[in-house]
Structure formats: C-alpha cells, structure tokens
Amino acid sequence: LTALSPTSGPTSGGNTVTITGTNLTGTTQVLFGTTPATILTNTPTQITVTAPAGTGTVNVTATTPGGTSNSLPYTYSTVSAPTLTNLSPTSGPTSGGNTVTITGTNLTGTTQVLFGTTPATILTNTATHITVTAPAGPASVVNVTVTTPGGISNPLSYIYVAAPVVTGVSPQFGPDTGGNSVTITGSGLALASAVHFGPSLATGFTVISDSQLTATAPPGTGTVVVTVTTPGGTSTLGPGNPYYTYLGAPVINSLIPDEGSSLGGDSVTINGSNLTYTDSVTFGGVPASFSVLSDNLAVATAPAHAAGTVNVQLHTPAGNSNTLPFTYDPV
C-alpha cells in the first residue's frame, strides 16, 4: 500500500476510503485494525472501501492471494460531523461557475463539497462558512453535501436552472417615453429577477407563468433586444423575435388640401414625422382609408362628413398625433 485518501474519518465510519498501491488484484479483505471494511471496488492499483466504525489510530492492511500488505495508519477523528444550515443562493445556472456560500457548523478542514455527485471548487473555508464555485449540472435538483474529517454532512437542496429564452414580445412597438405594458413569451421565465429593454431596466414586471410575463417598458430609442434574467442566467439571441422598437410620437405638420367636399373622396396629403407605423387616420373621429408613403408622408381619402371644420389625427403604436383642422364644404 502506498496511500490512503482520506487518512482520517468519523468514529461512526461509513465514509469511503480509497487505497492506492500495487498487486491489489483479487483483494479478499481490508482491515481497519482488526475490523473488516466493506470492499466497493478493486483494481490492480486501487481499492475503495467503506470504513467501519472505530476509535483512535489503526493500521489498514489489504489481503490478496499473494499475502497481506504493509500497513498504513488511519485515524478515527473525534471531530463532530459537519452540519449544513443554509445555501446562498439556492439555485444557479446549469453552466455552473457561480459562487455559492454554505453556512453551517463543524466545517473546518473540509475536504470535499459535492453538488449531487460532482465536486465543487472550494474557495474559502472556516468553521461556519464555505464558499465554492458551483460545478456545471443538468437542470434538476441536487443535494449539496460537505465532507470533513468528522464525516459527511446532511444534504441541502440546490436547483440547477436552465437559461431563460425569449421568443417574442407583444406589442413589438411602443412610445420612446416608455410606460406601456409589453407581454414577453418564451421559456424558463418563472424565476425572473430582471427584465431589460436593451441596456435599460424595465420599470416593473409580473410573472404570469414559466412561459409568459408582462413588463412595463422603460424609455428608450431605436430597436433593442428584450432580455430576461433568472438564476439560470440572462437570455441570449435565439429562435423567435425578441426585438422591441421605440417610436417617436407622430406629428402632423400640414394637410394638403385642408378642405374638401362634405361628400368625401378627396385625397389629402399628410406631411409630418414618425408616420411609418401609422395604423389609423381619422377626420373628426371618422376613420379614413390611407396609405403611408414614407416616415414623413401619408395620403388619406377624406370620408364623408357634415359641412364644417373637424380635427384630423393619426395614430401609431407610439400614440396619437397632434390635430390639424380640415374644413368640409357644403354641397
């Protein structure tokens, strides 16, 4: 035998000890002092066993058809087994890499922290706190345990969360002043902690389900990507359409002509700005048919209306425009 790992353990036994050496094939017995251990695996260079209960320092030996080995010392520790009371955070991305703080007692000399069956990287260790870098894991709930010379701790649950996905936003347009409600669809949204419209944080959001939430758009400009952040990370560009476009309020500068027959049918050119996404034009509240030619130009057909002067207004997802007067002449 050349090495034991670990070289100490709890007086209650039950922990796994790896024995390294040569000519270990066909091991028939491993003794901790005079007490047999349970053999778990056996190769020519390594044996793993479950340590029996014991006290003090004992000699570990292995017996094969070739005889009994030299001995290596193993110490039964009187240190109490570790106890875990809290994890912070209790969830994280499937990619791992985040820092998790483990709180408890009897944590001194921690030799291993497992997330399920995967070891974490230990960063700091005191009697009451351990910080680790979480390993990667599948989207699931796993048990976190700590091993010290005193034994293996109780488990605490840790949730691996898949990264959220945003596949759509509705509406896809809104005023550059923000303040409107936007429905966001996708997956993995239930644990949302933040929603961004480009670099700007939404002023509020409500989770409806794992596949839907509503957010209040902040002020902004141009076309931006809407992202959702959860313990699983921040959504990235993928399938779907996570884009949202900010629109300036529509403005009407002139109507040419600004009068026509009360029978309707006159073609009226509307000059202004931010007209591209016009979805309605009204003459005195009466909808008119229209065509948008550019961001600065639209053409509407005046509907029939009683003689007199009415207000012409158009609407886009950014809201209503100002109004300009149009006069209906009597027939």
Top-level CATH class of 83-161? mainly beta
CB burial class (10 A; 0-12, 13-18, 19+) of residue 268?
buried
Its pTM stands at 0.67
Q: Is 302 helix (H, G, I), strand (E, B) or coil?
A: coil
* H or E element, residue 161: strand 156-161
d(CA 162, CA 301): 53
What end-to-end distance do the CA atoms of the chain give, in Å? 113
DSSP 243: E
- Mean pLDDT score of the chain, rounded to an integer? 95
Show Cβ contacts of residue 294 under 8 Å, excluding neighbours closer than 6 positions.
275, 276
Task: Split the chain (331 residues) into runs of 10 and give each run's mean pLDDT.
Answer: 91 91 97 97 97 95 97 88 95 94 94 95 96 96 92 93 95 94 95 96 96 97 96 88 96 97 97 96 97 97 97 96 97 86
Domain with CATH 2.60.40.10 in the chain: 3-77, 83-161, 165-247, 251-329
What is the fold, at CATH topology level, of the domain defined by 251-329? Immunoglobulin-like (2.60.40)
Out of 2.40.50.140, 1.10.10.10, 2.60.40.10, 2.70.40.10, the CATH code matching 3-77 is: 2.60.40.10
Q: Which one of 3.90.650.10, 2.60.40.10, 3.40.50.140, 3.30.565.10 gives the CATH number of domain 165-247? A: 2.60.40.10
